[in-house]
Amino acid sequence: MKYLLLLILILPASVLGQRNILNAKSPDEIGQKTIDELIIGEDEGPLAYAYVNERDVLFSMTVWESIDLDERVNFPLYFPADTTVVRVERRPLIHYLITNVIVAEIPLNIYTSSTLMIEKPIDNLKKDLIYREIKEDIEGIGLERIKSEGPTPKLFLLNNNMDLGEYANYDETDKEKTAEEIAEFNFAMESLIFENNLLEEDEYYLEEFNYGDVVSYKIKGVWYFDKRKLNSNTGQLLYVP
């Protein structure tokens, strides 16, 4: 089982939710426009976050919230996992996140980790949606064929006249390399093998990501107390399915 790590930066530009739910005095008022919206003529789009001056923040802390899709209240975010049996307007949340990241209809940034330091290329995301694993311990195919023709993945690629790019001069015998460097190299070699179709279909396992694989979402935000407005708020920064 491979986990899809999709770190999406949500800029504090809007608040999504059911209209007027915090100001309603009766159930009938839920969903109606507030007085402020009627006065300033708000459209049907999301409400903008208010500006927060750093000097007005008395206290703040980073928080992670978890949304368990196995809980009934969160079912609308999970279903329908199988989109072939429903109309086109019914899709789970992960569909809109992935689709809009790939087609860029909505500017969403994706990152390799929650530190938000390194952006993840769209092509890498597309590769992550397909998981392939070379079969092992089966005579004549998969890893056993690579060993017999290699005997390492790097030599296997070179014997097939493949360009190794930045790894052309990589020394596999260097014992000072870190575990992270070795794992990165092995992943690069395996990726090159698949990209150049050097294995037959029966030599590896293939598993494609589907919407039903998402079991929860994690939301990273900043909880802060605004002394000017005398209230506490949470600004959402990151979604991690």
Residue with tokens 């329908």: 80
- pLDDT for residue 200: 92
Measured distance CA(98)–CA(227) in Å, rounded:
38
Length of the chain: 241
Q: Which amino acid is at 36?
A: D
Long-range contacts, stretch 69-72, CB < 8 angstroms, 24+ apart? 69/214, 69/215, 69/216, 69/217, 70/215, 70/216
Q: What's residue 5's pLDDT?
A: 57
Judge whether 116 and 238 are in contact, CB under 8 Å. yes
Q: Residue 8's pLDDT is what?
A: 56
> What are the phi and psi torsion angles at 133 (to 5°)?
-130, 125
Q: What are the residues facing 197 on neighbouring strands?
A: none
DSSP tag of 25: S
Whole-model pTM: value is: 0.61
> Whole-angstrom Cα distance, residue 135 to residue 235?
45
pLDDT of residue 174: 87
Instruction: Tell me the domain boundaries of the chain.
Output: 7-128+211-240, 133-208
pLDDT per 10-residue tile (average), the chain, 241 residues = 54 48 67 66 61 83 90 91 86 88 72 76 80 89 91 92 90 87 89 92 91 90 80 62 68
Q: In what order do the strands lie in the sheet with 216-226?
A: 57-68, 216-226, 231-240, 7-9, 109-111
φ/ψ of 31, rounded to 5, equals: 95, -15
Q: Percent of the chain beyond pLDDT 70?
A: 74
Q: In sequence order, what E strands does 5-73 have?
A: 7-9, 57-68
Residue among 239, 2, 7 nearest 129 (CA): 2
Q: Dump pLDDT digits (tens) for 174-214.
A: 888 888 888 889 888 998 999 899 999 999 999 988 899 99
